Structure 1
Amino acid sequence: MALIDLILQAKEWFGSLSSGYQISLVLIFPFFYNLVWQFLYSLRRDRAPLVFHWIPWIGSAVVYGMQPYKFFEDCRLKYGDVFSFMLLGKVMTVYLGPKGHEFVLNAKLADVNAEEAYKHLTTPAFGKGVLYDCPNSRLMEQKKFCKAVLTTDSFRRYVPLIRKEILDYFTKSSTFDMKKKTCGVANVMVTQPELTIFTASRSLLGDEIRAKFDGSFAKLYVDLDKAFTPINFVFPNLPLPHYWRRDNAQRKISATYMELINKRRETGDIDPSRDLIDSLMVNSTYKDGTKMTDQEIANLLIGVLMGGQHTSAATSAWFLLHLAEKPKLQDELFNEITKTMESKNISSINELTYDDIHNMPLVNNVIKETLRMHMPLHSVFRKVTNNILVPNTTYMVPRGHYVLISPGYAMTSDRWFPNPDYYDPHRWDEKTHLDMLMETGETVDYGFGAISKGVSSPYLPFGAGRHRCIGEHFAYCQLGTILTTYVYNIKWKLRPLGKVPDVDYTSMVTLPQVPAEILWEKRDTCMV
């Protein structure tokens, strides 16, 4: 009763104040509460040190969102590798470096949860019942279903398809139009997203889906792509135009896939070796006997294509920009390609196979170095579902908070990579302690095939653990084919002349700031 009386008295007192005082108190109270809360939080020895912030709820969101790696390093110098910060109402506990990777990526499934962290972002874009909108065991099996078209034999079929798409793009796109032009300007933030979705759809999803991208279908994927922004992560659904476009795109893309699935079901025209669509129509029964519905198959197809498109588009854009700054590296790549052709006694790049590209050291080291400097996702996090102790500390991360790691931070830190800001594919020429660290004899199968159990490496561009990206080898296949086809047909430099653009961290993917343009000219060996 005493508490109720106190509340009533406070309410009466507040009501006796003038409206000006009332407004002032309403505005000031959150800031006062925020400072008191942080003070009390700082007294706890069972919590990681909290980065101080003035603005309630928003916390450190602005400085983190603009320059995450600098933010992490500044915090590390003040607090150490383990610290917490407020991000839009969520307390994020960060653990930097390989020990942090081990802590989060090898955590027990009962203690941390990726689905709870990401599903409100991915489900509106991909649809129900797939990826993060299902139990983790189902996600692991869905990854296994998809791996059926990610074999070495599949990659051997994909390379000529991908190369043909690139050469067609050189011919048909207004950026290149190489039948009429011998030089020009290319905005890599236009060309590479287009090329990656064309090549991925042609190789993974087949001719019928690829043909859709010649019309308005490609625009739908752009609308879907724009749903992966920080505001969507915090607010999954708002009455705003880009949310409406996202939902419209999801419905139309899903309906297109369903139309094709229904057509193949009705005609019996199903060949699991033809493309991912047919493969999933035949091989998508869970261990408990439950079969994926056709709608879930359609939703999974959206997720697969979108997942690869983001990362490969960004990576290929970055290596074009870095190579534009280093024409000698372009020449080295050209020599590696032509020497491989000479050794095989072939006269056309069309005869280069997946195995040839896979065995080109510099080509693969360019991709490797690009991923080191520009990991597509700068932060990886999980929602904590049971209180967990940070190893070798007294810090407890409570249920409901989040844990965050940043392999991208480690890969661009001089703590593990000498001169990390210098783009140098040759740093990978010799086997280093990093390579040795990444090679562990132990493997584990989470349901989609055996993968390395070790995650204590500073180099994890494709993640690790149960959520490791299954598209790594396809990415190297696609990116290697794009890189060799570019180098053999054109040479290029930066426009405007100067340095490679800085990173734009404002989206969910680390992209080049605009303008991101190259000046290109045809080589004598150009096939167009």
Structure 2
Amino acid sequence: MAFNTTTFVPSSDAWSGFLVEAQKIFPTSTARLALLALVNIPVIAIVLNVLRQLILPRDRSLPPEVFHWIPFFGSAASYGNDPINFLTSCQKKYGDVFTFILLGRKMTVALGSKGNNFILGGKLANLSAEDAYTHLTTPVFGKDVAYDCPNEKLMEQKKFIKVGLSADNFRTYVGMVEDEVLDFMNRDPSFRTYQMNDINEWGQFDALTVLAEMTILTAARTLQGKEVRSSMDKTYAALFSDLDGGFTPLNFMFPNLPLESYRKRDRAQKKLSDFYVGIINARREGRSNNDETDIIAALMTQTYRNGNALPDHEIAHIMIALLMAGQHTSSTTGAWTLLHLAANPDVAESLYQEQVTRFSNPDGSLRSPTYDELRTLPVLDAVIRETLRLHSPIHSIMRKVRADLVVPPTLAAPSKDGQYIIPEGYFVLASPTVSQVDPKIWYNATQWDPSRWNDIDGEAAKAFKQYTDENGEKVDYGFGAVSKGTESPYQPFGAGRHRCVGEQFAYLQLGTLITTVVRQIELRIDAVPAPNFHTMITMPKQPRMINYRRRKFA
């Protein structure tokens, strides 16, 4: 039936046809009334929803609710199109704590450093990451890992992963990452002018496409293992693409739609899981070298506190989780970094000269830095930190409320009827990204300025000290003592018990990749593209083409 969406009245042809059919069943007056009611149901629903918000008394124990026109749909469009602008606009109107409707879910937001601490440092009895995310992650990662198991088991699994993320392994990874980056630049069509060894000709490459390929190759070579790296062919790429297609906002909001993309996701998950189990079996049977520095080797030796060995299917699913989670965050952060360096050639030159000063050979060429040397490069460190501040990969972190939760008065001033209470069944949302661009904390908050990290008494240094808990306050959630960091306005890798276990590897991977690229080519771009919030990870919009030219001694 064709409808005029402006007036909610059917077109004349559709109306006539409908009435003919309706009159066969109902008297004319009844048919018209039924049709009129059907057509106006959306209007009635919107009117009732508005009246409910404007006229009916509000429960004063609940945080204020963001006004919305359409029931169920709520603020989905505003939040989905530009979540940072939406959250900060609501903050100005309602304060740091408020609730909005997101496709039927009641999302209570807590902003600012205190809001981050309230949610990310909350107790397991009240807040659950598993209940918030398992419907998205379990079909992709697999059963019995990540958010498909009790939190105490997840903490043990993170501890197992940390065994493989050792400093000794990291020292071997730097050369592997560099080799993969150089090999890619020497063969990929995007770097044709680089391969021609012409220092006068400029070429172009898509920042996100190139970084996505570089990061998956380097992760496969290091964390995933030689068998995975040697299988990085079109078949593996197709499976990864199908699995990645099930890791979108649509899957998060509607986890059980009968779509082909969902079926492809499920088939790919099964095939990749079997692939990893095959690697494990080959190593156990001596058909493959067990003397490896990858995460598979580390996981194969681990045992839970109850004495049970880590099952093969859980090892496979952990490896898939590492691949999926790390690939998106690292490739996106790397792309944003190169885009900003291309838009700020003076910073890129400082990054290059930092290597010239430290790693020059007698002939003018540059040697590769070691893992320990990478950690002592202040310009590189500032560039990565500033990119993570301005472009946190995940803008919103959610938990589901398991038991009624009282909002502390330090976060939100009590209402006339006392402190706010967030009821069981609600979701809560923290946004470290909002804190990381808060103009009350950061000078020129929305400007990419790595130099802010050079001021030892500045806001950036203070935030980083809070994040790393330099006063020595560490917490062991079950995977080793880590910085809690929940009260810092800078949280690029999350905070609390769900802080990213691969944080140090991410710095290694990004640092090696960026220094290698900058050592080889100059970068230029007219403007950094805007962020795309329609994806799970905040990626740069197209066009994101970077102009490049080979350096003299590359």
| TM tier, smaller | over 0.9
Q: Is the 8 A contact 1:319 1:367 kept in 2?
A: yes
What secondary structure sits across from 1:124 in the alignment? helix
CA offsets, 1:179-209, max 9 Å, x none?
A: 3364411001210111000001101122211
Which residue of structure 1 lines up, in the alignment, with residue 464 of structure 2? 435
What secondary structure sits across from 2:505 in the alignment? helix
Which residue of structure 1 lines up, in the alignment, with residue 406 of structure 2? 389
Distance change in 2, residues 1:454/1:509 (3 Å) = closer
CA offsets, 1:303-335, max 9 Å, x none?
A: 011111111100000011001111111111111
- 2:532 corresponds, among 485, 493, 504, to 504
Q: Is the 8 A contact 2:485 2:491 kept in 1?
A: no
Distance change in 2, residues 1:29/1:523 (3 Å) = same
Deviates more, 1:72-81 or 1:27-36: 27-36
Q: Whole-Å Cα distance in 1 between the matches of residues 504 and 172 of structure 2? A: 14
Q: Is the 8 A contact 2:365 2:553 kept in 1?
A: no
Superposition deviation, residue 347 in structure 1: 7.1
Superposed, which structure 2 residues align to 1:4-83 within 5 Å? Answer: 18-24=33-39, 26-39=41-54, 43-83=58-98
Distance change in 2, residues 1:499/1:151 (3 Å) = same
- 2:440 corresponds, among 384, 403, 415, to 415
- 2:196 corresponds, among 166, 171, 180, to 180
Superposition deviation, residue 350 in structure 1: 4.8
2:399 maps to a residue whose letter is: R
Which residue of structure 2 lines up, in the alignment, with residue 158 of structure 1? 173
Which residue of structure 1 lines up, in the alignment, with residue 492 of structure 2? 461
What secondary structure sits across from 1:289 in the alignment? coil
Deviates more, 1:431-440 or 1:447-456: 431-440
Which residue of structure 2 lines up, in the alignment, with residue 372 of structure 1? 389
Which residue of structure 2 lines up, in the alignment, with residue 338 of structure 1? 356
Q: Does 1:91 align with 2:103?
A: no
Which residue of structure 1 lines up, in the alignment, with residue 450 of structure 2? 425
Tell me how many residue pairs correspond in the alignment.
508
1:277 maps to a residue whose letter is: I
Superposed, which structure 2 residues align to 1:46-445 within 5 Å? Answer: 46-177=61-192, 178-180=194-196, 182=198, 183-267=202-286, 269=288, 271=290, 273-283=292-302, 285-342=303-360, 349-392=366-409, 393=414, 394-431=419-456, 432=458, 433-438=462-467, 439=469, 440-445=471-476
What secondary structure sits across from 2:547 in the alignment? strand
Which residue of structure 1 lines up, in the alignment, with residue 3 of structure 2? none
Superposition deviation, residue 28 in structure 1: 4.0
Which residue of structure 2 lines up, in the alignment, with residue 11 of structure 1? none
CA offsets, 1:112-167, max 9 Å, x none?
A: 00000001001111111110111001110110000111121111110000000000
Q: Is the 8 A contact 1:111 1:385 kept in 2?
A: yes
Identical-pair percentage: 44
Let me know the Cα RMSD of the aligned residues. 2.0
Distance change in 2, residues 1:346/1:450 (3 Å) = farther
Q: Whole-Å Cα distance in 2 between the matches of residues 434 and 296 of structure 1? A: 37
Superposition deviation, residue 256 in structure 1: 1.3
Q: Whole-Å Cα distance in 1 between the matches of residues 436 and 359 of structure 2? A: 34
Which residue of structure 1 lines up, in the alignment, with residue 550 of structure 2? 522
Q: Is the 8 A contact 2:337 2:383 kept in 1?
A: yes
Q: Whole-Å Cα distance in 1 between the matches of residues 52 and 127 of structure 2? A: 25
Distance change in 2, residues 1:396/1:345 (3 Å) = farther
1:493 maps to a residue whose letter is: R
Q: Is the 8 A contact 2:283 2:290 kept in 1?
A: no
1:513 maps to a residue whose letter is: K
CA offsets, 1:51-97, max 9 Å, x none?
A: 00011111001111111111111111111111110011011111111
What secondary structure sits across from 1:521 in the alignment? strand
Q: Whole-Å Cα distance in 1 between the matches of residues 511 and 225 of structure 2? A: 20
Superposition deviation, residue 18 in structure 1: 2.9
Superposition deviation, residue 388 in structure 1: 0.4
Distance change in 2, residues 1:341/1:236 (3 Å) = same
Q: Is the 8 A contact 1:30 1:56 kept in 2?
A: yes
Superposition deviation, residue 15 in structure 1: 8.2
Q: Is the 8 A contact 1:224 1:246 kept in 2?
A: yes
Distance change in 2, residues 1:175/1:454 (3 Å) = closer
Superposition deviation, residue 17 in structure 1: 7.7
Superposition deviation, residue 390 in structure 1: 0.7
Superposition deviation, residue 277 in structure 1: 1.1
Which residue of structure 1 lines up, in the alignment, with residue 9 of structure 2? none
Q: Whole-Å Cα distance in 2 between the matches of residues 428 and 150 of structure 1? A: 27
What secondary structure sits across from 1:267 in the alignment? coil
Q: Is the 8 A contact 1:212 1:218 kept in 2?
A: no
1:520 maps to a residue whose letter is: Y
Superposition deviation, residue 218 in structure 1: 1.9
Distance change in 2, residues 1:261/1:348 (3 Å) = farther
What secondary structure sits across from 2:548 in the alignment? strand
Which residue of structure 1 lines up, in the alignment, with residue 11 of structure 2? none
Q: Whole-Å Cα distance in 1 between the matches of residues 154 and 48 of structure 2? A: 41
Superposition deviation, residue 289 in structure 1: 2.0
Q: Whole-Å Cα distance in 2 between the matches of residues 41 and 109 of structure 1? A: 34
Superposition deviation, residue 348 in structure 1: 6.0
Distance change in 2, residues 1:145/1:45 (3 Å) = same
Q: Is the 8 A contact 1:228 1:507 kept in 2?
A: no
What secondary structure sits across from 1:18 in the alignment? helix
Which residue of structure 2 lines up, in the alignment, with residue 492 of structure 1? 523
Which residue of structure 1 lines up, in the alignment, with residue 8 of structure 2? none
CA offsets, 1:419-462, max 9 Å, x none?
A: 01211111001223323433342111011110123411100000
Superposition deviation, residue 482 in structure 1: 0.6
Distance change in 2, residues 1:339/1:20 (3 Å) = same
Q: Whole-Å Cα distance in 1 between the matches of residues 181 and 105 of structure 2? A: 43
What secondary structure sits across from 2:300 in the alignment? helix
Distance change in 2, residues 1:356/1:82 (3 Å) = same
